[in-house]
Chain A
Amino acid sequence: MSSFHIGKSTQNLASQNEFWLFRKLTGLQSVALLIALVLIGLLVVPVGKVIFVAFQDPSTGAATLQNFADFFATPLFRESFWNSFYVSAMSVVFATIIALPLAYITTRFHFSGSILIQSLGFIPLIMPPFVGAVAMQLIFGRNGTVNLLLREKFGFSVPFMEGLNGVILVQSIHYFPFILINLSASLRNIDRSMEEAAQNLGSHGIRLFRRIVFPLAMPGYIAGAALVFIKVFDDLGAPLLLNVNNMLAPQAFLRISSIGISDPMGYVISCILVLFSILSLWASFLVMRGKDYSTIQKGGGGIGKRTLKTGEKVLAYSVVALILLVVLSPHIGLLLLSFGTIWSFAPLPDAYTLQNYITMWEGSKTFILNTILYAGIAASLDVIIGTAIAYIVIRTGIFGRQWLDYLATGALAVPGVVLGIGYLRTFHGVDVPFTGESLASWWVIIALALMIRRLPYALRACTAALQQVSITLEECAESIGATKRRTIQKIVVPLMTGGILAGFVTSFATAAVELSATIMLVASNSDAPLAYGIYLFMQTPSGRGAGAALGIVAVVVVAIGTVASQLIIERDKKINSSNDIV
């Protein structure tokens, strides 16, 4: 063969190769670009707009700090600010009081109810806090079950639900699982040898816990606590339903909904909410940085478990039972309310009926159908975008790919109220093509807001799923002759199915009960989703029964979603782990 031939064939291959490279890059690059545009349009611009308006003089449009000065000069806002802070901090304290014993008892001791407790601990998360709020009034309120009984038997009552107390109680019961989950995981991830080494050097008892065990579990606790703080700080639904309006999120909502989208105070409050979100996420990042204490090693086990003595056992079971009773009270209350006829000034409803469910079904078919539509669109888009971002970030070298991840995850730091206000302000002047409707009041915008709100969670699920897929599985397909596109289609996506499905179900279930962004964007009752329907029902005493029935529907939807996504993840893990070669 002559050298001429060699040279020629090389050249041909090189040019063919360039062609392929070019096509491959533009394909994935254009997907990346499209996602970037969506994130900018639906997240960056609206949030930027909110921040911009907060620093703008409402009449002249000039840059100013006057709005912030006005905010802090108004006693109501100063009080709201302080109240939000106080409620968030106290919720963290109470959530810790609930979570710490549960986490400690189930991870440190042989305790037969451990699995039950760990699963029951998740239950509060599957109920939107505003749904539980009304039921809590009926159980812990001034004339609720507990206080009626206390007054009857002992002649005193406890103001569990008075004003801010009510918000703190509702929120800590709802959000403590974040601390429970993170703290339990940290405790379990401490290798036995860590503790044994300390015992070997003479440490034991409380001192061992204080010096070794708790510090090692600290990052998990901080992560959970920061999450609780920020969720409570941002939450709109619970204070609104408990009629506690002197907090930041309700103030933002009330200013915008009663005075209008030109009032600057709503934007100032939004800025403060975003700032606190970022601060607490940043704080937990700082604490976590370089402290991956997950120390389980090969041949090691989790932290040593001790058998309880009889007396200790009784104590432990009583503590756990009491906590679980409190934690499950909103569910019990809601269930009673949904089946009750009239429940007022009595420890329990007067009689039981199915009427509420019939009323609910007749009055809320639209809500339920809307919810399925909105949450379905949101969750589908979430997993499509989530999968694309995960693939682009993990498997390609596209310039700026990390920013897609940062942007999508950044939605975590944007409270629903803020996103809602941002959409109203950004899109109110934009018309939907053909219908002439304003984009801000078009139902699709609700679905898009839900999509942005749930994207961070879907993205995490998709990223985790992709990380499970060993890159050699892809390389092997390529070396056998499959192109990038075919490899993604035949190998990557099928292997990610479990994770993608789990992400879809979680996004769907939580989007179905989201209230804070939707309450700002619902233009008419016919466009309203389930969460808004519950809110409407709960506004009148006569609608509470039906509202509770709808609440039960919401809880069941989220519960089924949570269980389904857990099952999918478990099944996936099993397939993947049995495929591991040891």
Chain B
Amino acid sequence: MKKDGITIKNVHLSFGSTEVLKGINLEIQPGEFFAFLGPSGSGKSTLLRAIAGFGPIPTGEIFIGERNIVGLDPWLRNVGMVFQSYALWPHMTVRDNIGFGLRERKFATSNIQQKTNEVLELVNLSHLADRMPNQLSGGQQQRIALARTLVVEPDVLLLDEPLSNLDASLRVQMRRELLLLQRKLGLTTIFVTHDQEEANTTCDRMAVLENGIIQQVGSPQELYDNPTNLFVAKFLGTANILTGSIETNGRNTRFVTTTGETLNLPTAAQSGTQLVLRPQNIEIQKTSGKGTLKARVIHREFLGSQIRYLVNAAGTELVVDHSHTPDGVWFENGTNIHLRPNTSGATVL
């Protein structure tokens, strides 16, 4: 299958007077599995639909390979989109649903038959070819919708929250299948989701969107470990934010909070006023030590593998995760404890 990248240049889009996309610039590599991640209303679905050719025509340029497709009718784009609701046509059998795109492309009947069989085999549903869509389970409908899109050999594959209508266990299985299929076909794929776990487990790289703007682009690990702004830090996992300033004293760099606590920073420091600490990067100690913070437990949640404490420290509330073992220690509400932040995993913004 031929591989095309997607290049988005300065795309703006408005619904009436509401600007939904505010200058999107993005480069997606050929064969990449890419995710648009963001809360609802962030513009991620709008951007995906703009690539497919639905909704208002945006300004700016969207290239698939070397074709600018802005303003082009959807049927001329050769972009495969799998819809959140699957959109299987209820008046056609599975076979007719899959063959539809090929018939539109004026393929010979024998050819359509053969390609349909091949793609049904690809999704392991050959035995359901003559069923009607309403006789299929959710997971089967999902795979048929995917097959219907893949059979026309689109240049890129767009998935609009494809797993959101499946139950939890099926979702985990389907996302693995999706990934295997994408790797096998090497098809440039964009996956829209609001679920960071889905994005983390499938995509090569992702773009976090908020308020019509791309906040950050990178691999899941990069974004988690080195968020470039508070939104990304908070959206990907739980983040504790300490405000203060950086002080450099000879070779030591320290972060001094507004309430006066100091934390050593391992790297030669950048500028910034906010220190991002993940809950698992803070250790709890019963006794104070060098570089520890005084804290008091105010709430406790048992999460299974971990116990999550909400504590008062450094003039703010912090979330701290403590591994749980059957013989482990519990801290009651109101207990005074000491925190040792592991600043090697911290980011200053």
Contact = CB atoms under 8 A, between A and B. Distances in A.
A322 interface: no
A581 B86 contact: yes
Interface residues on A, range: 35 or more
Given A479-B75, A480-B104, A6 B66 contact: yes
Contacts of B75: 478-483
A59 interface: no
Contacts of A352: none
Contacts of B73: 17, 20-21, 24, 478, 483-484
B158 to A, nearest CB: 8
B66 A473 contact: no
B53 to A, nearest CB: 7
Interface in B65-92: 66-69, 71-81, 83-91
A13 B74 CA distance: 13
Q: Which of B54, B74, B80, B101 lies at the interface centre, i.e. has the most chain A CB atoms within 10 A of its CB? A: B74
Contacts, number: 105
B310 interface: no
Given A9-B66, A13-B68, A472-B83, A479 B74 contact: yes
B141 interface: yes
Contacts of A481: 75, 78, 101, 104-105, 152
Contacts of A480: 75, 80, 100-101, 104, 148-149, 152
A581 B87 contact: no
B66 A581 contact: no
Interface in A1-16: 1, 5-6, 9-10, 13-14, 16
Interface in B252-302: none
B90 A14 contact: no
A97 interface: no
Contacts of A9: 66-68
B133 interface: yes
A8 B90 CA distance: 42
A480 B145 CA distance: 11
B165 interface: yes
B157 to A, nearest CB: 11
Nearest to A10: B68
B134 interface: yes
A163 B289 CA distance: 105
A475 B87 contact: yes
B100 to A, nearest CB: 6
A5 to B, nearest CB: 7
Interface in B98-115: 100-101, 104-105
Q: Which of B80, B89, B100 has the most CB of A within 10 A?
A: B89
Given A13-B68, A480-B152, A575 B83 contact: no
A494 interface: yes
A581 B138 contact: yes
Contacts of A478: 53-54, 73-75
A477 interface: yes
Contacts of A578: 134
Contact of A579 (B81, B105, B134, B149): B134
B339 to A, nearest CB: 44
B52 interface: yes
Contacts of B134: 575, 578-579
Contacts of B67: 9-10, 13
Contacts of B133: 579
21 contacts: A9-B67, A13-B68, A16-B76, A17-B71, A21-B73, A472-B84, A472-B85, A472-B87, A475-B83, A475-B87, A476-B83, A476-B89, A477-B104, A479-B79, A480-B100, A491-B89, A495-B89, A575-B90, A579-B88, A581-B85, A581-B86
Q: Which 9 A-B pairs have the closest CB atoms?
A: A480-B101, A478-B74, A472-B87, A476-B87, A10-B68, A579-B90, A578-B134, A481-B104, A479-B81
Interface of A: 1, 5-6, 9-10, 13-14, 16-17, 20-21, 24, 470, 472-473, 475-484, 486, 490-491, 494-495, 575-576, 578-579, 581
Given A17-B73, A481-B104, A491-B89, 13 more contacts: A5-B66, A9-B66, A13-B68, A13-B72, A475-B52, A477-B104, A478-B53, A479-B52, A483-B73, A575-B90, A579-B88, A579-B133, A579-B134
